[in-house]
Structure 1
């Protein structure tokens, strides 16, 4: 059976070097509830990050 991944929400915010710690904590804490979290630099502005919430 295939797992479907659904993007629930995304937000742009000011990039901070410690943001990955929050994403890592959320992924470790909520993976059993089928939530995943992502963090990426904005391709047009490296001072902005995109935080995304997914559900599988």
Structure 2
């Protein structure tokens, strides 16, 4: 069975030490709604983070 992941939205925001906690609680709370959240640092600017919302 093939799983398709669709990007719903992406935004670049200021990085914060606790930002991963928000992503974690969103993933735990909304996984049964087929939503997944991702966080990555920009490769050229570690002060910026890329927050992405996916539908699984």
TM-score (norm 2): 0.96
Write out the 4+ residue segments of structure 1 that deviate beyond 6 Å after TM superposition. Answer: none
TM-score (norm 1): 0.96
Listed as ranges, the gaps of 5+ residues in structure 2 are: none
- Deviation, 1:41, is 0.3
Listed as ranges, the gaps of 5+ residues in structure 1 are: none
Count of residue pairs the alignment pairs up: 56
- Deviation, 1:44, is 1.1
Task: Give the aligned CA root-mean-square deviation in angstroms.
Answer: 0.5
1:35 paired residue number: 35
